[in-house]
Amino acid sequence: MVEHRPLSDFIAYAILTLGILIVAFPVYLALIASTHDAATVVGGHMPATPGSRTLENYYRAIFVGGSRTSREPVAHMLINSFVSAIGIAIGKIFISILSAYAVVYFRFPFRKTAFWIIFITLMLPVEVRIYPTYKVVADLKMLDTYAGLILPLIASATGTLLFRQFFMTVPDELLEASRIDGAGPFRFFWDTLLPLSVTTMAALFVIQFIYGWNQYLWPLLITTQDSMQTIVIGIKKMLVTTDELAEWQLAMATAVLAMLPPVAVVIFMQRLFVRGLVQTEK
Amino acid sequence: MEKATVFNNRLLPYLLLLPQLVITVVFFYWPASQAIWQSFLREDAFGLVSEFVGLENYEALFAQPEYYRSMLTTVIFSTLVAALSLSIALLFATQADKNLKAAGAYKTLMIWPYAVAPAVAGVLWFFMFQPSLGMLARPLRGMGLDWNPLLNSTHAMILVVMASVWKQISYNFLFFLAGLQSIPRSVIEAGAIDGAGPMRRFWTIIFPLLSPTTFFLLVVNVVYVFFDTFGIIDAVTGGGPAGSTTTMVYKVYADGRLGGDLGGSAAQSVVLMVIVIALTAIQFRYVERKVQY
Give the pLDDT confidence score for residue A91 in this predicted structure: 95
DSSP percent split of chain A into helix, strand, coil, nearest 5: 75, 0, 25
Give the pLDDT confidence score for residue B293 in this predicted structure: 39
Tally A–B CB contacts below 8 A. Answer: 279
Write out chain A residues lying below 8 Å of B32, CB-based: 124, 129, 132
> What is the distance between the alpha carbons of residues B116 and A211, in angstroms, rounded to a whole number?
10
Say how many residues make up chain B. 293
Question: A269: domain range?
Answer: 34-42+51-279
- The pTM of this model reads 0.89
A88: domain CATH number is: 1.10.3720.10
Average pLDDT, chain A: 85
Q: Is residue A7 part of a domain?
A: no
E strand or H helix at A71, and its extent?
A: none
Between A195 and A58, the higher pLDDT residue: A195
- B194: phi then psi, degrees, rounded to nearest 5: -75, 0
Mutate which: B7, B12, B20, B98, vs A, most A CBs within 10 A: B20
Binned at pLDDT 50, 70 and 90, residue A35 comes out as: confident
Q: Is residue A108 part of a domain?
A: yes
> What is the distance between the alpha carbons of residues B260 and B262, in angstroms, rounded to a whole number?
6
CB spacing of A278 vs B100 below 8 angstroms = no
Q: Which residues of chain B have pLDDT under 70?
A: 1, 44-49, 258-260, 284, 286-293
Give the pLDDT confidence score for residue A57 in this predicted structure: 80
Mutate which: B43, B120, B164, vs A, most A CBs within 10 A: B120
CB A106 within 8 A of CB B7: yes
Q: Is residue A193 part of a domain?
A: yes
Determine contact: A150 vs chain B, CB below 8 A: no
Q: Is residue A21 part of a domain?
A: no
Mutate which: A32, A131, A160, vs B, most B CBs within 10 A: A131
Say if residue B244 is exposed, middle or buried (CB neighbours under 10 Å; 0-12, 13-18, 19+): middle
Determine contact: A81 vs chain B, CB below 8 A: no
CB A80 within 8 A of CB A215: no
Give the pLDDT confidence score for residue A242 in this predicted structure: 52
Write out chain A residues lying below 8 Å of B198, CB-based: 5, 8
β-sheet bridge partners, residue A277:
none
Give the pLDDT confidence score for residue B161 in this predicted structure: 95
Binned at pLDDT 50, 70 and 90, residue A241 comes out as: low
Write out chain B residues lying below 8 Å of A255, CB-based: 120, 123-124
> What is the distance between the alpha carbons of residues A19 and B132, in angstroms, rounded to a whole number?
27
Tell me, what amino acid is at A55? Answer: L
Q: Is residue A154 part of a domain?
A: yes
CB spacing of B133 vs A42 below 8 angstroms = yes
Binned at pLDDT 50, 70 and 90, residue A59 comes out as: confident
Query: pLDDT tens across A128-184, in order?
Result: 778 888 888 888 888 888 999 999 888 778 888 889 888 988 898 888 888 888 888
Does ipTM surpass 0.85 in this model? yes
Of B125, B133, B128, nearest to B165 by C-alpha is: B125
CB spacing of A99 vs B16 below 8 angstroms = yes
Count of Cβ atoms closer than 10 Å to residue B76 Cβ: 13
Query: pLDDT tens across B209-250, in order?
Result: 888 888 888 888 888 888 888 889 998 888 878 888 888 888
Query: pLDDT tens across B16-60, in order?
Result: 999 999 999 998 888 888 888 888 887 765 666 677 877 888 888
CB spacing of A274 vs B14 below 8 angstroms = no
Of B15, B180, B22, nearest to B90 by C-alpha is: B180
| Average pLDDT of the segment spanning A247-269 | 88
CB spacing of A8 vs B98 below 8 angstroms = yes
Share of chain A above pLDDT 70, in %: 93
> What is the distance between the alpha carbons of residues B186 and B192, in angstroms, rounded to a whole number?
10
Q: Is residue A9 part of a domain?
A: no
Write out chain A residues lying below 8 Å of B175, CB-based: 278
Tell me how many degrees the CA angle A20-A22-A28 measures, rounded to the nearest 5: 95
Determine contact: A2 vs chain B, CB below 8 A: yes
CB spacing of B23 vs A151 below 8 angstroms = yes
Between B285 and A63, the higher pLDDT residue: A63
SS (H, E, C) chain B: CCCCCCECCCCHHHHHHHHHHHHHHHHHHHHHHHHHHHCCEEECCCCCCEEECCCHHHHHHHCCHHHHHHHHHHHHHHHHHHHHHHHHHHHHHHHHCCCCCCHHHHHHHHHHHHHCCHHHHHHHHHHHHCCCCCCCHHHHHHCCCCCCCCCCHHHHHHHHHHHHHHHHHHHHHHHHHHHHHCCCHHHHHHHHHCCCCHHHHHHHHHHHHCHHHHHHHHHHHHHHHHHHCHHHHHHHCCCCCCCCCCCHHHHHHHHHHHHCCHHHHHHHHHHHHHHHHHHHHHHHHHHHHCCCC
CB spacing of B273 vs A128 below 8 angstroms = yes
CB spacing of A214 vs B118 below 8 angstroms = yes
Q: Is residue A217 part of a domain?
A: yes
Q: Is residue A133 part of a domain?
A: yes
How many domains, in total, are found in chain A? 1
Give the pLDDT confidence score for residue B291 in this predicted structure: 45
pLDDT at A67 over 70: no
Query: pLDDT tens across A3-31, in order?
Result: 667 788 888 889 999 999 999 999 998 88
CB B291 within 8 A of CB B215: yes
